[in-house]
A and B are shown apart, each in its own frame.
Chain A
Amino acid sequence: MSKTNSNMDAITKPLATLGRSVLFFGQILAAIRPDLKLLRATLAQVYFIGARSLVIIMICGFFVGMVLTLQSYVELSKFGATDSVGTVLALSLFRELGPVLTALLFSGRAGTSIAAEIGLMKATEQLSAMELMAIDPVKRVVVPRFIAGVISLPLLSMLFTLLALAGGATYAINIMGIDSGIFWGNMVSSVEFQSDFMMSFWKSLAFGIIASFIAVFSGYFTTPTGDGIGRATTQTVVVSAVVVLIVDFLITVLMTWT
């Protein structure tokens, strides 16, 4: 009996979670109203997320840029094509690494703290107390964090990409001695606004929605115990990573074939 039960659970549980997340997403969208309180709360959250993530985004961006340049320089030099190192760097950053790595860092840093914060508010009955004061916790707690995440991720992704370009340029020009005019020139002439820059933007927007939603969802539906909060934060990182990487593939397919 328990065997069939757990088999059933394996199917019904994810389905139930999926259903619940669709409903919750609808609930979030329905609670978004243009009002001053929401705007203020959202800006405060953007500030928190920024304060939490800025430094690690910048450091990681810079080093990713340098290592990318080093790796591609080694390969390209076999074909005598080291002049294209800026092109390779920019394309891989805009199309893939900028949005994807930023999303992963975001869910690890900001996503987990959002999930833990909401989970703790649930465990200490603060969400319940809000409901009792006729304050909708979805509107007051969830929505500002969700929107702030959606706004922040594209901005952080842009920052990550800029720092990575700076890191790459520093390495290529100052250490490998590539001419700066050639480095930037090749890069600018090969990056296309429509396909490359916009791909970066659409991806980071999609990832912002995914990572923020998973964070608020995990927090809001956490089992209200210390253990439950721990699981919610882990879940935030793991689920975000998997979904982001799958969606990354889908968007890439969609944008390169149309």
Chain B
Amino acid sequence: MPDDLIKLTNLSFAWGEKVILKDINLNIPRGSVVAIMGPSGVGKTTVLRLITGQLLPTKGTVEVDGMCVSSMNHKNLYKMRRNIGVLLQNGALFTDLDVFENVAVPVREHTNLPEALIRRLVLIKLQAVGLRGAVDLMPSELSGGMARRVALARASVLDPSLMLYDEPLAGLDPIGASTILRLIRDTNDAMGMTSVVITHSVEDMMELADYAYIIASQSIVGQGTPEQLRENTDPRVVQFLNGEIDGPVPFHYPASDIHQDLLG
């Protein structure tokens, strides 16, 4: 049995009264690329924020590298985060810094490298996402897909041992998407990283992931290697993988009856 870098055990999370996740068990083996999938609003980003300790579980535990995230103090939490690279869903670039300085932020903060080395490090990372030519642009001058790639370069600039990607491929053209897909896989394997990729795209998951979890209606409804998932006969998994409209997984956010709502 492989050694798990991340372990969520009997984990529940709620915003006030609203339960988002209920009794989830999710393990991420060291060195693997694991996909987390599920319909919009189901709590995928929430899982990511639970792993990084930005949100605390209402029940259960989150362990990263053998340490319990929810009981860490501020200092240890920040120490843990130095080894984690996170690509947020919207990129979240610093709008007052240009592309170069954005990517350089973690380097300047956590190392004392000389300027020449910082420059090389940043340019190598930008080259990998195809944006070395954009070093001098401000975030407001980038398209959505470009901003996300800069954010990717920034998240990985210190070669963390764990990368968390929230929708890394959304808004990218097919060439960009397969480049990033390749990049995620290659850096993971070359650097011995562990990667968690949140994605909507079944194809991307099938191509990229060693293992995948599908979350629907507050819990994990399916998991396994891409092949295993394809064989899975659970109607919720089948519906999600095939993108069927009718099935047990609701597309709509919980609401009252539409006829009552519209006709008053």
Contacts and interface: CB of A to CB of B under 8 A. Distances in A.
Q: Do A and B bind each other?
A: yes
Contacts of A121: 94-95
B95 A132 contact: no
Contacts of A135: 105-106, 109
B88 A133 contact: no
A124 B94 CA distance: 9
Interface string A156-172: 00000000000000000
Given A124-B95, A126-B95, A132 B84 contact: yes
Nearest to A140: B109
A132 B90 contact: no
A136 B86 contact: no
B110 interface: yes
B54 A134 contact: no
Contacts of B88: 125, 128-129, 132
A146 to B, nearest CB: 18
B199 interface: no
Contacts of B106: 133-135
A75 interface: no
Interface in A211-240: none
Contact of A126 (B54, B81, B94): B94
Nearest to B89: A125
Nearest to B151: A129
Nearest to B108: A37
Interface in A106-142: 120-121, 124-126, 128-129, 131-136
Interface in A76-132: 120-121, 124-126, 128-129, 131-132
Given A129-B86, A131-B54, 11 more contacts: A126-B92, A126-B93, A126-B94, A126-B95, A129-B88, A131-B81, A132-B88, A133-B109, A133-B154, A134-B81, A134-B110
Interface of A: 120-121, 124-126, 128-129, 131-136
8 contacts: A120-B95, A129-B92, A132-B88, A133-B105, A134-B78, A134-B81, A134-B106, A134-B110
